[in-house]
Amino acid sequence: MAIGSGIFLIVIGAIASFAINDSIEAFDLGLIGFICMGAGVLAIIVSLIANAQRSNTSHRVINEQPAQGQQPQGGQAQGQGGSQGGQSQGNAGQGGQPSA
């Protein structure tokens, strides 16, 4: 959004500086145009810096897995036939073969 605003300010400033030949006693349109163009360039630079910093973030994903031989905490107990197809308690002591 700031890039578009910067381009808009540059265009308005260029029109005020170079395309309008009218003179107003209280305002110098050439100077106002150059000020708008400078503000537009500054807005584009600030916007590009902010976007570069926003895309330079890092995310950390931590997957905690239980140690071998321990049941996962807070989940479904084994042997209740959940949707994940866990082992039943009767087969846990027989080499850990999944139940049918």
Task: Annotate the chain with three-state secondary structure.
Answer: CHHHHHHHHHHHHHHHHHHCCCCCCCCCHHHHHHHHHHHHHHHHHHHHHHHHHHCCCCCCCCCCCCCCCCCCCCCCCCCCCCCCCCCCHHHHCCCCCCCC
Each residue of 64-76: b (16+ CB within 10 Å) or e? eeeeeeeeeeeee
pLDDT attached to residue 47:
93
pLDDT single digits (tens) 32-55: 999 999 999 999 999 999 988 877
What number is the average pLDDT over the span 53-63? 79
Give the mean pLDDT of the chain.
Answer: 78
- pLDDT for 28 equals 87
Q: Assign 99 a pLDDT band (cuts: 50, 70, 90).
A: low
Mean pLDDT on 62-74: 74
Residue 90 pLDDT exceeds 70: no
